[in-house]
């Protein structure tokens, strides 16, 4: 995955300043994940997941600043 500079948005980082986060497409994420041996990658928004799970399991309980949720799966071979 080759990217030319940062093409991202500003993010407040613990009140100590602003850093840049590069924008990455789902295809780029899948390419990196496959290179790391990840078998499955899912991407969703916090709002979408909050609407589908019980209140105790909602990502918004962890942080109100979450925007995107990544779910990774790796097959574990038996025996």
pLDDT tens across 43-55, in order? 999 999 999 999 9
Of 26, 20, 19, 8, nearest in space to 70 by CA = 26
Structure confidence at residue 20 as a pLDDT band (50, 70, 90): low
Q: HSE of 65 in the Cβ direction (CA atoms, 13 Å)?
A: 4
Give the domain ranges of the chain.
24-73
How does DSSP classify residue 76? -
Share of the chain above pLDDT 90, in %: 49
pLDDT at 8 over 70: no
């Amino acid at each position: 995955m080759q990217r030319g500079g940062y093409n991202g948005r500003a993010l407040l980082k613990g009140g100590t300043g602003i850093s840049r986060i590069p924008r990455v497409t789902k295809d780029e994420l899948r390419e990196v994940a496959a290179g790391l041996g990840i078998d499955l990658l899912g991407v969703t928004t916090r709002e979408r997941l909050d609407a589908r799970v019980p209140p105790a399991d909602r990502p918004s309980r962890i942080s109100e600043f979450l925007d995107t949720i990544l779910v990774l799966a790796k097959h574990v071979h038996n025996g």
